[in-house]
């Protein structure tokens, strides 16, 4: 009865918040109602950042509403304040529904297998991070000074390497019951170097995000450490943004640490809300679901075979061709992609699908160490897709996690049959 009550109280309160804003119609009040709705969904996670209600609610609102906050601070001009506030509420509502209906929080009950899995995941980690080092060498030899001058088809190997890192960390913690301190520190330093060299912040932040999630999973008594790491990583966003291509550029702007939170809102988190505002100002002809076809094809077909256009590409070619010509762009917005298909209803549907995918992986991660690695390694893609489209979510999930898992399982079976890998220890773990 208590669970039924908990499931009912959240949608009732959420409906009350939406109704309150519709009756008031003031965007400033609407902003605070959005913040209340965000906290409401976050509280459903009970502060456990591994739960999608925690990180999902915070990043959805941060990406969609940063431009609104900047408007009220007098730093940006937004023409569609009411619409932006409403779109975020609709996005949160679509995100909340599957969380209530699908997520199961019975705690982790994982069968870890054996040391063979740990050894193989470590070997694959070394191999694929070795490939990423070749990307770094290729960047240096190309003569490029900024990332817009460099186009490598091997950058997705960072996603694959990070997945094997997640798998190795999971098995080391789960089977051997110890923290792989040397590996964690070495990868931290290497990926920080690679991020500064290539100008790809996602390389470093994807790794730190999966480590943070796994800290919450394997050290439930040290939740404060997880939040401390999260806070430090977020503060690094504007710093790495300013110092990208650190080793090939000669001049940098000075960072004012007193304005670091403004820099956060006005940097990484501004573009999604900005892109929604652009669409609200100019878009007329709805796509009625056709954009998802390009997203799926781009997610399934490797870029070196054929480079299908996704919604991000369509948006930047349509509204910012001058940036595309110099190899840049504004990204897009998952909420905006929903809007260009079915207006406000599309926003709800897009985040409903988004939440169904996240919730399903979350449930599987509580039963299988393989899906725990997939879930933790994919959270950065889930977050980054909020300023992209569905291909930004699906492509890394399929090519950077699911297919590498298939490779891992095939190799594991082959090597065991050849007598190369031996099952020396079996373990199970509950949290």
pLDDT at 384: 93
Sequence-distant (6+) residues with CB within 8 A of 26 are: none
Same domain, 78 and 119: no
Whether the per-residue pLDDT at 249 is higher than 90: the answer is no
For residues 33 and 305, the model is more confident at: 33
In a domain, 406, yes or no: yes
In a domain, 206, yes or no: yes
In a domain, 382, yes or no: no
Same domain, 75 and 210: no
In a domain, 174, yes or no: yes
pLDDT at 430: 46
Same domain, 102 and 125: no
Same domain, 118 and 101: no
Cα distances (Å, whole numbers) of residue 383 to 130, 173, 295, 333, 363? 26, 25, 17, 11, 18
Q: What is the mean pLDDT of residues 25-45?
A: 87
Same domain, 246 and 114: yes
pLDDT at 280: 93
Same domain, 95 and 116: no
Q: How confident is the model at residue 332 (pLDDT cuts 50, 70, 90)?
A: very high
Same domain, 123 and 82: no
Same domain, 102 and 134: no
Q: How far, in Å, CA of 128 to CA of 411, rounded?
A: 15
In a domain, 390, yes or no: no
Same domain, 90 and 144: no
In a domain, 368, yes or no: yes
Range of the domain at 311: 2-107+258-376
pLDDT at 9: 60
Whether the per-residue pLDDT at 424 is higher than 70: the answer is no
Q: Where are the alpha helices (DSSP H) in 243-368?
A: 260-266, 270-282, 291-300, 311-319, 321-324, 334-365
Same domain, 124 and 240: yes
Using one digit for the tens of pLDDT, what is the confidence trace for 306-328? 677 889 989 999 999 888 887 77
Same domain, 33 and 116: no
Same domain, 34 and 144: no
Whether the per-residue pLDDT at 220 is higher than 80: the answer is no
pLDDT at 2: 42
Task: Note whether 21 and 85 are within 8 A (CB).
Answer: yes
């Amino acid at each position: 009865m208590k669970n039924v009550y908990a499931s009912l109280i959240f949608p009732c309160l959420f409906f009350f918040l939406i109704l309150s804003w519709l009756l008031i119609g003031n965007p400033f009040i609407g902003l605070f109602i959005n913040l209340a709705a965000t906290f409401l969904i976050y509280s459903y996670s009970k502060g456990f950042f591994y739960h999608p209600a925690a990180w999902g609610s915070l990043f959805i609102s941060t990406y969609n509403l940063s431009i609104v906050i900047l408007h009220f601070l007098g730093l940006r001009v937004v023409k569609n304040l009411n619409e932006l506030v409403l779109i975020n509420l609709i996005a949160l509502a679509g995100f909340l529904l599957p969380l209530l209906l699908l997520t199961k929080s019975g705690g982790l009950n994982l069968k870890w297998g054996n040391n063979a899995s740990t050894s193989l995941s470590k070997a694959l980690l070394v191999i694929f991070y070795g490939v990423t080092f070749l990307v770094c060498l290729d960047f240096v030899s190309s003569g490029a000074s900024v990332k817009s001058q460099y186009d490598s088809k091997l950058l997705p190997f960072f996603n694959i390497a990070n997945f094997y890192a997640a798998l190795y960390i999971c098995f080391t913690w789960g089977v051997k019951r110890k923290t792989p301190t040397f590996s964690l520190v070495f990868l931290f330093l290497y990926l920080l170097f690679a991020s500064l060299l290539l100008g790809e912040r996602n390389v470093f932040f994807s790794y730190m995000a999966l480590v943070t999630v796994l800290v919450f999973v394997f050290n439930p008594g040290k939740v404060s450490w997880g939040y401390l790491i999260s806070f430090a990583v977020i503060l690094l966003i504007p710093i790495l943004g300013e110092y990208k291509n650190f080793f090939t550029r000669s001049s940098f702007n000075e960072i004012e640490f007193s304005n670091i939170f403004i820099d956060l809102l006005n940097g990484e988190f501004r573009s999604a809300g900005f892109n929604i505002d652009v669409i609200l100002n100019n878009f007329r002809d709805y796509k009625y679901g056709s954009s998802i076809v390009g997203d799926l094809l781009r997610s399934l077909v490797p870029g070196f075979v054929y480079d299908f256009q996704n919604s991000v590409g369509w948006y930047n070619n349509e509204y910012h061709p001058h940036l595309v010509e110099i190899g840049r762009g504004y990204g897009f917005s998952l909420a905006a992609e929903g809007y260009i298909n079915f207006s406000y209803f599309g926003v709800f549907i897009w985040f409903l699908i988004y939440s169904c995918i996240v919730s399903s992986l979350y449930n599987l991660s509580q039963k299988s160490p393989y899906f725990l690695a997939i879930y933790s390694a994919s959270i950065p893609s889930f977050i980054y897709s909020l300023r992209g489209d569905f291909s930004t979510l699906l492509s890394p999930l399929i090519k950077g996690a699911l297919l590498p898992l298939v490779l891992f399982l095939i190799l594991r079976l082959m090597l065991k049959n050849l007598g190369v890998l031996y099952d020396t220890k079996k373990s199970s773990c509950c949290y």
